[in-house]
Structure 1
Amino acid sequence: MVTYLFRRLWGNPSHMKYVASALRERYSEERIHILVAKRNSGNFTYDGIELGGERVTHEIEETLEELARNGHEIRKISVIGYSMGGLVARYVIGLLYSKGWFDKLEPVNFTTFATPHLGARNPLLGFYSHIRNLIGARTLSMSGRQLFTIDSFRDTGRPILSVLADPDSIFIRGLRRFKNKSLYANVINDRTAVYYTTGISRTDPYRNIADLKINYVKGYDPVIINPDDPISPPGNPEELPTFYYRIADRSQTVVKNILIYSVLVLLIPIGTIVFLINSVVQSIRSSRRIRLHEEGKAGVGIGSYRIQPIVGNIQSIVEGVFDDLNRSQDSEYLPAGMEEHGDHLTSSSETIGAPSSRPPPRTCSLGSEVKPNILQETRQLPQHRQLEFPTLPLSPHQLAMIQTLDSVGFRKYPVYIHKARHSHAAIIVRKPRKNFDEGKVVMRHWLDNEFEI
């Protein structure tokens, strides 16, 4: 088997070092060949999902040809993506599928860690969210426009993330071919890629996590949350030790936050100026690289990769509801507490542990039943464990993405990193730091339960 590892925005090969070493510790070189994609590293990740995907597909094809020349018989393929690397990986899967590689190699495992499948847009209403989305979309070159869904992919008139999740696209057809599909999503402290997008969810049950009782997977606690029974209301409030512990814990957090914010008041203005200057420079360089790539002067023959991304009718699940996201901020989100059902909007909320009142599952154009998000499923549990969460004000195309990606059959694992404030880095143990050790539990669970050779 050959296994490919994809990295984040601004990522470099060292970020996937622990993931690669964990794989190697389990499997010898005779059983698995590991490739950490290198051609989309550092500032090259500014260039967008399409260009990055074409670069990496070229790298994969060169590697497969080299392995064949050296007498290695490769029969299976697995793809692992981290952060934005998971989106590039999904693009690569579509290209490999369209070029017939999955008729030669059996697609086995596809896993993402902290990947923003629904984009990086802040779904909440208000001035802060508006400014964050405005700046983020315009300071990261093509990748920023794509992550914040203000781009238009080729002649589709739709954001690339929407096309990646079109049920008739080569990307979804290729993804369906993988035997095992899983994702791991941080529930708190991931400011790079928040839970709703990494967990492909209409709700965020963990926003007030201190007020909930978390149920873990046995043997992987207190890190991997049980996806079948993730949360329940807190225990008896008369349990004084727990109450006093929480008060003490929150007091310590307040003191830490005061110190941190005092430092940030001094550093943020300087850091913002440096970031904006660097963004302008990198955007200019990225534009040049994209132009050279399009002209075929960047070492990658793009002709073989510019395949029609949509197979059959160019239809989406919610045809007609993809508004022009550049036109007005007001049209970017559904009203809070409203959810798209068919061709109309209805007030809704998501309940964990209550009988289902949702309409029967719809089917996508490929005829596959659309399964609900695992954290949005309703389960018959004792009355005291029923919890209800409002639907986030997502855009119509994000709701369409959720519907299609859920139909693919991801197994979703919420991850609760306690010891690191930077859970985005900790989930894959990006550096050998003690407070990142909980990420090793994530890797162990993945290899024990989701990675098959």
Structure 2
Amino acid sequence: MDTAAPAPTAASPDHLCVLVHGLWGNPDHLKFLSTSLRERYPEDKLHVLVAKRNAGSFTYDGIELGGERVAHEIEETLEELARSGHEIKKLSIVGYSLGGLISRYAIGLLFHKGLFQKIEPVNFTTFATPHLGVRTPLLGFHNKIWNVLGARALSMSGRQLFTIDSFRDTGRPLLAVLADPESIFMQALAQFKYRSLYANVVNDRSVSYYTAGISKVDPFIQPDEVKMNYVDGYEDVILDGENPVSAKEPEALPAFTQRLTSSTRTVFGRVPLVAFLVVFIPIGSTLFLINSAIQSVRSNQRIRMHEQGKGGFDIGGYRIPLMINGMRKEVEDMYENMNNAQEQEYLLSGSEEHASPSISQSTNISRKKSIDNASEVESIEESKAGLAVEFPTLALTPDQFAMVEALNNVGFKKHPVYIHKHRHSHAAIIRRMEKSSFDEGRIVVKHWLNEFVL
């Protein structure tokens, strides 16, 4: 005899919020996020799911497989809640780092399966997510070396993050498909009532500002040379997304001193890369590459098992038409240090038009020619003071330019974050560990909670 499902209580919440961690991550990385969310919204107000299926080296398996795991975990949770009498009517997704890309894939699958016809998508938020991948700008030999080495060190996830993969039968990188306006992924993203992102402006060793902030320019390359415009009440951490920087009165230095300062900055800017290569190549590369090879083999085995339906659930419903543990921390540090050593490179005059002829500009950005070097630049206008600050266009790939256009067209509320107290802002932005030097992450999470709509 069938047993009727228990009736929901008067205080039964109807909103599920899902948190998704990043590369090399695990649910503990999201402890401060989940705890803060629970303190703001107790169990009678909100269900919280911290995704568990992609922990550790499982994040090597790629955005597609990771997204399928998360989608399945969400569906399982919804079924469990329904059996216990909880009817979920609203869904929010929060992705950290690679978890933001995995989340974008997962919501496409859920949308395709019709879930959004029954459940309202409310909040979609990413923290330090590489929406444009992690491929460094194209110019310069050091960037080319890193784009080759890095892409082959993280199995399928690395290939996808560096956009050298070919997704299924599309012949295009997965990230390009993920941002295609005609894809189920972008259609799903557009369904959310509120889309927001938090992007570190400095010291993010894993995810540069331009990719986390979905931007063709980086206004924060030399933060001391611009005036930061902070949001009132957030203690010099959260910048005004619509007007993050404005012109700063230059110091009156002799012309010779200015030239010397600029040259010194250029020379010393390359020191971290040279020093790292000197150490990395003879000492660290062997361990790094051995571990990468081991994890790639293991990841490929998991992917094959998943494709054969041996991954713990039937993948048919998700196929859309169309390190050794003891070494993981060292490998993560090597990867982040190498990535952090890269310099931004910029397009020469006329190059952007050739690379991406149809890029639209956001409302607060206009294009103009630089009066001193004829490089094509973008100008962020400060409406109140009438000041303009010019920044050159980064040397992105045509796919990346297209991603910027499509993702900005669907719309994100952008929150640049300036972490001052720690040089590992990628971890500090969500207070990934209980460290006093990560306390600025409290301010970031406070801001997010005040933006979160129940």
Q: TM-score range by the shorter chain?
A: 0.7 to 0.9
Is residue 98 of structure 1 aligned with residue 112 of structure 2? yes
- Picking from 161, 178, 181, the partner of 1:164 is 178
Tell whether the 8 Å contact from 1:351 to 1:388 is kept in structure 2 after alignment: no
Deviations 1:251-304 (A, max 9, x none): xxx9xx999x99997687543322211100000000100001001111121111
Q: CA deviation at 1:237?
A: 3.5
Task: For residue 345 of structure 1, report the CA deviation from its aligned partner.
Answer: 5.2
**CA offset at residue 133 of structure 1?**
0.5
Residue 410 of structure 2 aligns with an amino acid whose one-letter code is V
Aligned length: 398
Q: For residues 170 and 212 of structure 1, do their structure 2 counterparts lie closer, same or farther at Cα, with a shift above 3 Å needed?
A: same
What is the aligned counterpart of 2:401 among 392, 399, 402?
A: 399
> Would you say the 8 A contact 1:6–1:36 is kept in 2?
yes
Does the C-alpha gap of structure 1 residues 343 and 19 become closer, same or farther in structure 2, counting only changes over 3 Å?
closer
SS in 2 for 1:392: coil
Q: 1:71-220 residue pairs with structure 2 within 5 A?
A: 71-220=85-234
* Counterpart residue identity of residue 432, structure 1: E
Whole-angstrom distance in 1 between the partners of 2:297 and 2:214: 33
Structure 1 runs not aligned, ≥5 long: 239-246, 310-332, 359-374
Q: CA deviation at 1:393?
A: 1.0
Q: Select the residue among 267, 271, 288 that pairs with 1:275.
A: 288
Q: In 1, Cα distance between the equivalents of 2:308 and 2:351? A: 43
Q: Which residue of 1 aligns with 2:305?
A: 292
| Aligned equivalent of 1:16 | 30
Relative to structure 1, the CA distance from residue 31 to residue 406 in structure 2 (aligned partners, 3 Å threshold; closer, same or farther) is same
The change in CA–CA distance for 1:338 and 1:3 in structure 2 (over 3 A counts) is: farther
Q: What is the rounded CA distance, in whole Å, between the counterparts of 1:337 and 1:423 in structure 2?
A: 33
Residue of structure 2 in register with 1:424 after alignment: 426
Q: Which residue identity is paired with 2:111?
A: Y
1:428/1:440 contact within 8 Å kept:
yes
Q: Is the 8 A contact 2:154 2:292 kept in 1?
A: yes
User: Which position in structure 2 is the counterpart of 1:442?
Assistant: 444
Counterpart of 1:451 in structure 2 is: 452
Consecutive aligned runs of 4 or more in structure 1 exceeding 2 Å deviation: 233-238, 261-273, 333-346, 350-358, 375-383
Q: Deviations over 1:372-426 (max 9, x none)?
A: xxx976454545x211111111111111111110111100111110111010000
- Provide the identity percentage: 56
Q: Distance in 1 between matches of 2:277 and 2:355?
A: 46
Q: Is the contact made by 2:210 and 2:217 (CA closer than 8 Å) also made in structure 1?
A: yes
Q: CA RMSD in A?
A: 3.2
Distance across 2 between alignment mates of 1:342 and 1:174: 31
CA distance in 1, matches of 2:435, 2:47: 27
Does the CA-based 8 Å contact 1:337-1:393 persist in structure 2? no
Normalising to structure 2: TM-score of the pair? 0.81
CA distance in 2 between partners of 1:430 and 1:382 (Å)? 38
Contact 1:213 1:233 in 2 (8 A): yes
2:43 aligned to 24, 29, 35, which one? 29
My pick for the range that moved more, 151-160 or 120-129, is 120-129
Change (3 A) 1:138 1:381: same
